[in-house]
Chain A
């Protein structure tokens, strides 16, 4: 049914998965969608279960996972970029981190082996949400013109340089940013998936042609699988921390 990675899919299916139900409609469900839903279920399950386990002084199991995640986002993302006043964005950033992480990590889950973020849908949606949030925060905290002025005319730059700086800032802050954010995540997952598929197919083919040659690509496959776990976590972290940096940057005028 083109969901479980039990056999190598046709190359056209590396990223494009056929619809499973509601085929052809706006609500067509395919493997990518199932992974998004799985990410929602897993994250919800972890947090709802962890929230019930009270009273134990030393957190164990899912409670530990949830609390480590929250602490990680709080200390390594929020406090590093926004400081204490960014704590109100902690639920949003934590949700984003876990959602992206679990969408990514299915890249190495046996039987599924597909990173949902190698499809552009979620990266671009989240990036646009982030774009809306940081612009909204900027306008709310600095006023519309104050925000524009601080964004387009960063203080401390010689006046003549504004000729160059302002168009660059205009394009980079208001146009390129959401796309760079989305494409960074998407392209990393695409590249990772292609690498894994390439080595997997190489291993499979060479195994069927005399076993011995499969050792090298298999070793690479194992290595790359480990590497992709790192990339999955890292990209979730990078997406989250950049979101925090953008929102934090809009909260205060640059000095």
Chain B
């Protein structure tokens, strides 16, 4: 209901506007069938307006019956809808022409330029992306290659180090063994020398003691060589016993 009221109010407002602003004549020909008929009748009335009203009707009825009939029938006939109206051709053609000029001069080039600019930008971006991808790939490949080299180098170094370490260890072990055996043999020879020295010292000491004792016992003096021979003999006997 409310919408209907609004519509009604709006219609009235627009109708009033139409009446006052655009001043459409209420009796514009062809606007309504009734208006057209009224106009035709009025027109006929004006022609014979010099006589009284009753007379006009009689005259219209008798003298202009056929003509009036035709004109009144004309009110029911709309103009052929397929025939263009000249004012619409002028406005429509003009409108198209104006639009065409606006489009050719301003609108179309601007839109097309924006589209082309975007297409160029996208193409450039894609090219740049492709180039960046290629670059990245080559950097990656390079990196991979260098990484592989580094890995090889590292493993080579490790192997080398391991080999060197093994060598060092083997050398150390060998050297240690050599040292040990040297030390052993030196120790043994030192021991032997000491033993020999001790034996010699002991023998000399014992000879001295025995000589002294023998001198005292036999009271005879023997030359040194005889004494030494006797002593050695004695010692050997002692040692042999």
Report if A and B associate in a common complex. Answer: yes
Task: Give me the interface of A with B, judged by CB distance under 8 Å.
Answer: 1-4, 6-7, 10, 12-13, 15-16, 18-23, 25-30, 32-33, 36-37, 39-40, 43-44, 46-48, 50-54, 57, 59, 63, 66-67, 70-71, 90-92, 94-96, 98-99, 116, 119-122, 124-126, 129, 183, 186, 190
Q: Is the CB of B18 within 8 A of A91?
A: no
Pick from B79, B96, B108: contact of A91, CB under 8 Å: B108
CB-CB under 8 A from B30, the residues of chain A are: 12, 16, 18
CB-CB under 8 A from B14, the residues of chain A are: 1, 3-4, 6
Per-residue interface assignment for chain B, residues 83 to 97, with 1 indicating a CB less than 8 Å from any chain A CB and 0 otherwise: 111111111110110
Give the shortest distance, in Å, between B135 (CB) and chain A (any CB).
23
A61 to B166, CA, bound (A): 78
Q: Is the CB of A51 within 8 A of B103?
A: no
- Identify which of residues 104-141 in chain B touch chain A, using a CB-to-CB cut-off of 8 Å: 104, 106-115, 117-118, 121-122
CB-CB under 8 A from A2, the residues of chain B are: 18, 24
Give the shortest distance, in Å, between B214 (CB) and chain A (any CB).
132
Kindly state whether residue B7 has any CB partner on chain A within 8 Å. Answer: yes
Give the shortest distance, in Å, between B11 (CB) and chain A (any CB).
5
Give the shortest distance, in Å, between A37 (CB) and chain B (any CB).
6
A207 to B27, CA, bound (A): 32
Pick from B79, B84, B87, B118: contact of A25, CB under 8 Å: B87
CB-CB under 8 A from A37, the residues of chain B are: 91, 95
Per-residue interface assignment for chain B, residues 1 to 26, with 1 indicating a CB less than 8 Å from any chain A CB and 0 otherwise: 00000010011001101110110110
Q: Is the CB of A44 within 8 A of B102?
A: yes
- Identify which of residues 177-225 in chain B touch chain A, using a CB-to-CB cut-off of 8 Å: none
Known contacts A1-B17, A67-B111: A47-B106 contact under CB 8 Å: yes
A90 to B85, CA, bound (A): 29
CB-CB under 8 A from B240, the residues of chain A are: none
Q: Is the CB of B114 within 8 A of A54?
A: yes
Give the shortest distance, in Å, between B116 (CB) and chain A (any CB).
11
Kindly state whether residue B99 has any CB partner on chain A within 8 Å. Answer: yes
Kindly state whether residue B78 has any CB partner on chain A within 8 Å. Answer: yes
CB-CB under 8 A from B95, the residues of chain A are: 33, 36-37, 39-40, 99
A132 to B132, CA, bound (A): 53
A4 to B25, CA, bound (A): 18
Q: Is the CB of A23 within 8 A of B91?
A: no
Q: Is the CB of A26 within 8 A of B82?
A: no
